[in-house]
Every structure is written in C-alpha cells, then in structure tokens.
Chain A
Amino acid sequence: MSEAAQTASVPEISDEVAIQIIGMHKWYGQFHVLKDINLTVRRGERIVVCGPSGSGKSTMIRCINRLEEHQQGQIIVDDIELTGNLKNIDAIRREVGMCFQHFNLFPHLTVLENCTLAPIWVRKVPKAEAEETAMEFLEKVRIPEQANKYPGQLSGGQQQRVAIARSLCMNPRIMLFDEPTSALDPEMIAEVLEVMVNLAETGMTMICVTHEMGFARKVANRVIFMDGGEIIEQNEPEEFFNNPQSERTQKFLSQILAH
C-alpha cells in the first residue's frame, strides 16, 4: 500500500465502551504468551494491531471471542464478561464477527449458504430474509454474481470478501480481523482492503491485526504495537509512524517499511 495517507471519512467515536480488557494473562502450558494486557476499545473505534511474528497478536484477539481461553484478568465485551459461562460466550460470539487469515469458508456450502447458515440457525432469521440480507452484503463486497458458486471456485480475494460478508450477515457490533490480507496476492489485497475501508466508514468497531500500514494510516484511530506478549506502545497512527517512542517499535517499523 502506498504511504499516501488520505484519511477516510469516518464517523465519530462514542464514549461507550465496546471492549474492555483488564490485566489479562494467558499461558500455553508453561509458556506465558500474553502478559498483563490492558485495553479499552470504545464503540466505533478502529484499532490496528501490529508486531513481530509470535508476539501474541492473534492470541489476543482470539481471546476476545473465546477461541482461546485466558487464565487471569478480565475481558468484558458489550458489558458481558467472558467467563466459563457458555451463555455469555454465545451472547458475545453473536455480537463479534471474525475474519481469518485463511478465510475458513465452508467448502461444502455455496457462498450464499455460507452467509445464511449462522443467521438462520443462530439468530433464527427466516430463510428468505437471511438470503436477502446476504445478497445485500455480497453486493457491498461486490460479488453478488458469485452467490451460487462454491468457495473453491473463487479467487483468494473473492473468498476473503465472502468471509467478510459472511461475518457481517450476523449483524455484529464488533469485527475482528486476523491478518485478512496476508495470504493474498498484491492485487487481491487492494480489493479486500477497500471493502474493509468501506466497513470502517460505516462506523463499525474494528480490531485488525495487519501489517498493511497504508490501511492503518487511512482508517485507524489507534495503532497498537505488541512484542513478546505485551502491548509495548499505542498511539494515533500519525504519531505512531512518525514518532515511535520505544526502540523495539522503531526497529519493527524500520523493518516493515524498508521493503
């Protein structure tokens, strides 16, 4: 992505808290992956998380919808605390959409069925209505003509756009993205980022793990830098890129901006 930092026209952020993480720790066996994570995300905020490989970025956002379990501290999403309580987990997952690096579309279902499955069976939306909504979102990501194909018949960029549409069909209040473009070729990255920028413009609360710094400059309110399982630094994108505080951030930025 180019460094041209035109900021997208994005709505105001409200004071309402969407996600609050307080003193959260996580271990994989003996391995301390996340150390004392504290983070408050307000509704409508768009956060980009970056950091070197293995720093715990994926693990952190996967804790937010309980794909991973944290062992200490609190995670509160939409005023619901994530505990072992299955009801809370279900409630949170209904409100939080997620897109993965490898899309994870269901290969045995058509694009349309991928998009309508959860609304029909989790939200209990009538089938016709779910299909209508799905077509709307497929139009927003500009692939309505692929609705009856199977995921295996689409390009990577198209698949990721379907995955985004699929999450949006559940009408989530928060979207998590885990490196949505890093498995894609450059020309496909652009089409997916465009969809994400459009999404940001609707005022969606977003947390994106990505190394697309152009995207970060354009839509993020805040960039978070993680290393070794800790949040090292967070700042507004301009400040973050032009005036990084810690040495590790500087080193990381010089590495990814070098190529």
Chain B
Amino acid sequence: MSDMTQGNAPGQHYPPGQHPDMPPPPGTVGFVGWLRNNLFSSIPNSILTILAIYLLYAAIPPILGWAFFNADFEGASRTDCTAAGACWALIDVRGKQFLYGFYPDEELWRVYVAGFILLLAILPVLFDKIPFRKLLFANTILLPVTGFFLLSGTSGSPEAILPTVETPQWGGLLLTMVIGVTGIVASLPIGIALALGRRSNMPVVRTMCVTFIEFVRGVPLITILFMSSVMVPLFLPEGVNFDKLLRCLIGVSLFSAAYMAEVIRGGLQAIPKGQYEAAAAMGLSFWKMMYFIILPQALRIVIPGIVNTFIGLFKDTSLVLIIGLFDLLGIAKTVVTDANWIGLIHESYAFVAVIYWIFCFGMSRYSIWLEAKLHTGHKR
C-alpha cells in the first residue's frame, strides 16, 4: 500500500517519455471501487441502495419461509399440511393434471415422446452449429404431422397402437404448449406475409391485409376465441363439426399474426431504399430479394419485438379457459375447487406462475443471446 501511495504523491514529475505505469489510486478498482462507483456514487444513489437492501431484507425471508422452510411437501389432502407455510402436497398429488390435464394415464408415454420430439425440433431452429442439423430439421418439418398423430391418435378402436384421445382430454401444460407452439410457428410466416402484403403496391392485396390487421388488432383475443367457438359452428352446415381446439388454434394464430405483422413492418421500414435498389439492380426477383436481402435484415432488427409477441402469445393462451379448454391456468383454477384442496390458491397459482416464468424467461434470454450473436459489427 505504501509504495502505491508513494507513486501517486502529488507534485512528482518525470521527464517527458519517462513516466512509468502506475497502479490506479486505491478505492477506484476492485470490490470497493465497484461499490463506490455503482451503489454509492452520490447521496441519492446511496439512499436508494439502502432502501433497496431494506426491501429485499423485508421481502425475501418471508417468501423463502413460506415456500420452503415452513412448507409441507407431502400429504394426501390439505388437512395433512400442518406447517404454517405452503402446502406443496397439492402439486405432489395433482402434478400430473397440471402437466397433462385429463390425458389418460396409460397413454401418457405419447405425451413424453411428443415432448422429446418437440425438444429435438426446437434445437436446429435455435442453434445453427448443431451436429446432425439437417436430420433434426427434417424432424422439425414433420413435427406438425407426427405431433398431431402422436397426441390425438390414429384410430378410434382401443386396440390400436395409438387410440384416439379426444382434444377435450388434453389440458395443463400440454395444452398450453400445443397452443403456444402452434401460435408461434404459425404467426411468424403469416405475419411476414401480412407485413409484405401491407407494403405491396397492389391495392387489392394491400387493402385486404390492412383490413385484416386492423380488424384483428381492434378486438380482444377473448372475442376472437369466443367467435371461433360459438359463432363459427352457427355458419357451418349441420353435422360438420370441427374440433374446438383446432378452431382455437386458428384464432390464436391469426390474432398473433396480426401483431407480428406490425412488428415486422417496423423492421421492413428500417431497411434503406438502397438495399432494395442494389438487389433489384443485380437482377434478384422480388421473392429472392426479400428472402436473401430484406427479411434477414428486417427480422434481425425486430428480434426484441418478435420475442415480445411470442411471450405475450404464450401467456395469452391462458384465455382459452373462457371457451372451456383447461390449459395450465385453467387446471390451476379447477384443482383448488376440489374439496381435498380447497382454498390452496396461493400454491396453485404460484406453481403455474413459475412454469410460465421459466418458459418466458427462456425465450427472453434466447433473444438476447441471438442478438449478441447476430451483431456482426455492421453499421449503416
């Protein structure tokens, strides 16, 4: 310490070009320096720091106490929970319902297989330097078909390998994932098409896209779900009955596609005219220009907006409760009406909130990672 201060002694001069490298003054680097620069840099900042520490102190121990230290983890009904904290026995006993709704027990393997296929399908989309990417991509492309047959079955007879499981039996996280993934997968391409249509110079195409977007954005999702489940059957001929879940999937996809279209249009507008002109001058056709030049740049700009829409969509799936589908939140709500577990709303909703949060936070982190990866140092 002493020679450090010596080096900084005021008034010490060196001939030009002879100045040695010196350590920085004490208290400006390391842990103390960091504290000083970030948490206690001024009086208001110090007050805020202390206030924040106090709030953390006041909030965290009770939460931890409720969730872990004073909680019961086992039991057959809420009367088995004697501690003051949470009664996680609910999750222990009803966990299956949270995850799969009313999917028959002996067919659950299909859900696991579907989940595994989904995981494999997501990998090549998220990461471009993954081994066997081509193979995995084939799986991704087939996912709508394989997933559909796995989950809903191929034949009504119970002897079949994949007997039919009617969609009303689907529920919980399974249903949330089905709606969320379908919505995400469908809304991006539809959104791109709508955004391009809205910028088209063909008046008919443009008007149709604008009308669709403005109509869908102008009504709440609940309305659309309601219309798809109650109104659409009125227009269908007698005897034609198409699945409630399917109608709901279409509704959710179109709804988020309208939002997606506007996000993507923002990206398209940020691309300078010169990019279009250079591409056109090289003889690229409209679609090649869009695919190779414009969309890669436009989508990259709006990654935060796209992921934001995905997250919103994932959480909005909980509105399907209104048309009688029991997604994750729907299950959370019904489980606590059971006489054995009545009143355990905190535990039920907290559990569901954590699951939602894990997925949404995952999407958010991925988007940050992707942005950093795509930041190739280009400026315009």
Contact = CB atoms under 8 A, between A and B. Distances in A.
Contacts of B277: 67, 100, 104
B284 A107 contact: no
Given A108-B296, A117-B292, A121-B292, A93 B378 contact: no
A99 B310 CA distance: 40
A102 B277 CA distance: 11
Interface in A112-126: 117-118, 121-122
Interface string A204-229: 00000000000000000000000000
Interface stretch (A25-33, A41-49, A136-144, A146-154): A146-154
B93 interface: no
Contact of A152 (B284, B285, B292, B378): B378
Given A67-B277, A108-B296, A108-B297, A93 B376 contact: no
A152 B282 contact: no
Contacts of A151: 378
A121 B289 CA distance: 10
B280 interface: yes
Given A150-B376, A152-B377, A97 B297 contact: no
A84 to B, nearest CB: 13
A108 B300 contact: yes
Given A93-B283, A108-B296, A100 B288 contact: no
Contacts of B281: 65, 67, 93, 96-98
A156 to B, nearest CB: 12
B293 interface: yes
Nearest to A169: B282
Interface in B262-287: 272, 274-275, 277-285
Contacts of A239: none
B379 interface: yes
B380 interface: yes
Contacts of A153: 377-378
Nearest to A93: B283
A208 to B, nearest CB: 15
A100 B283 contact: no
A67 to B, nearest CB: 5
A90 B282 CA distance: 9
A107 B380 contact: yes
Nearest to A170: B282
A118 B282 contact: yes
Listed residue (A93, A105, A106, A153) with the most chain B CB atoms within 10 angstroms of its CB: A106
Contacts of B297: 106-108
A93 B279 CA distance: 10
Nearest to A102: B274
A122 B292 CA distance: 12
Nearest to B274: A104
Contacts of B280: 67, 93
Given A93-B281, A105-B278, A150-B378, 9 more contacts: A65-B281, A90-B283, A97-B281, A104-B277, A106-B279, A107-B379, A121-B292, A122-B284, A170-B283
30 contacts: A65-B281, A67-B277, A67-B281, A93-B280, A93-B281, A93-B282, A93-B283, A94-B283, A97-B282, A98-B278, A98-B281, A100-B277, A102-B274, A104-B277, A104-B278, A106-B275, A107-B297, A108-B296, A108-B378, A117-B282, A117-B284, A117-B292, A118-B282, A118-B283, A121-B284, A121-B292, A122-B282, A151-B378, A152-B380, A170-B283
Question: 8 shortest A-B CB distances, which residue pairs?
Answer: A152-B378, A104-B278, A107-B378, A104-B274, A93-B283, A118-B282, A98-B281, A122-B283
Interface of B: 272, 274-275, 277-285, 288, 292-293, 296-297, 300, 376-380
